[in-house]
Amino acid sequence: MDTKTLPKVDPADLFESQKRKALQLKKSGAQERIAKLAKLKEAINANAENILEALYLDFKKPPQEAGIEISGITNEIDFINAFLESWMTPQVVPTPEDLGGEASDSKIILEPKGVVLFLTPWNYPFLLTIRPLVACIAAGNAVTVKPSELSPHSATLMKEILGSVFPQDEIYVFEGGAEVATELLKLPYRHIFYTGGPQVAKIVIKAAAENLSSLTLELGGKSPSIIDNSADFVEVAGKIAFGKYLNCGQTCMTTDYVLVSEMRKDEFLDTMKATIEGMYGREGPGINSTAYARLVNRKHFNRVKNLLQDALDKGATLVAGGQIDEAENYISPTLLADVGPDDAIMKEEIFGPILPVMTYKTLDDAIDFVNQRDHPLGLYVFGKDKANIDKVISQTTAGGTVVNQTILHNASPFLPFGGVGYSGFGKGNGYFAFLDFSNQRPVMEIKAGKWA
């Protein structure tokens, strides 16, 4: 599809048909929704090889990493289907005595919001589109989806998969670029789910304000890993490297920079360098590697390359990596030391395979450094000193935190996932996503008391 051409299906006409469908979906019971999600799971599993191929064609995501997108979706379906009936059961709550007390009834019912718009990203295109979509379907909504045009093979396949399971007045996928999103944002969706960067988020917020649409924003920011002196550096290095270089660093919640005590800086850098070389080889995985993803396109490659060069020009030390191939949008796993706090690489989200390391004199200094910046999507703290770990958690704010690991909190359906402030708002995962796509409607039946 030419991204300068608007879609053949008229967004306004589709919106009206989805509004009508939403009234029907509101009446659907748990078993009907469970059956739909089971059918979606079958379609995902049947297309597993096609999903792996689409992700490789879009930015050479290796099958070992691409499989996470499939299992993340199917696990979410299994989890939600196991609990959906209980979630949909009205929650009975007490009634104050002066409103009738036990003689009156109060309850909370969760009803669908109606027609929802999804604007979703390219870095985990299937996972970050279909996993939240599962909760939105479970909540009984009709949905219009606009995936990122930067992963076109994935977008086309998602359209085919979802179209094979749902009629278009229930779930419909628009392909295309920013002009399609612009047209969609003119419509009065009851809720908008957006995953991406803060600049586009501001556009989404303004559009939502025009129609008083509620929002879920999953953004990003500069997520730190704070390493306490009590940590085992060999263990820490392996865990940080895994989370950081997964998907070529294109993960919104991954470690964006490390804070380590200046007295153990050299030890950490040596350990981290050895870990990177042990995982990827002394010269990096190489441009012929099929086990290492690429930056998604030339624009993003140039942005990350320029961040690296700017840091080096301003005095940063290249400790490991730094291999670049423009034709392949390839940057090897890279480790930097001696980065300045005012360097560009410390002011914007890297979203690439470069890890800056900064030092602190005291743990209080590290906490102050984090608190002087926007609240991150993730904050990771490593160490064996529980008092210090508790101190970091209690004196900082973040969308989520993992102790002695990174990014894994998003894999748990029992934990809410989302940002705070500049890193987003609204929550995903399991019940928390179901709640985000639902209206919590109080119902009170007065039977006795002074208001009867």
Residues classed as catalytic: 218, 252
Contacts 24+ apart (CB under 8 A), 84-91: 84/30, 84/33, 84/34, 84/138, 84/434, 85/30, 85/31, 85/34, 87/138, 87/431, 87/434, 88/29, 88/30, 90/443
Helices then strands, counting H and E runs in the chain, come out as 14, 18
Pairing of strands 438-445, 105-112: antiparallel
Alpha carbon distance 214, 307 (integer Å): 35
| CA 28 – CA 282 distance, rounded (Å) | 57
Q: Which residues does 373 contact at the CB level (< 8 Å), separation at least 6?
A: 222
What DSSP designation does 344 have?
G
**Residue in this structure with the two tokens 């469970």, named with its chain if needed:** 34
Between β-strands 330-331 and 324-325, what pairing exists: parallel, antiparallel or unpaired?
A: antiparallel
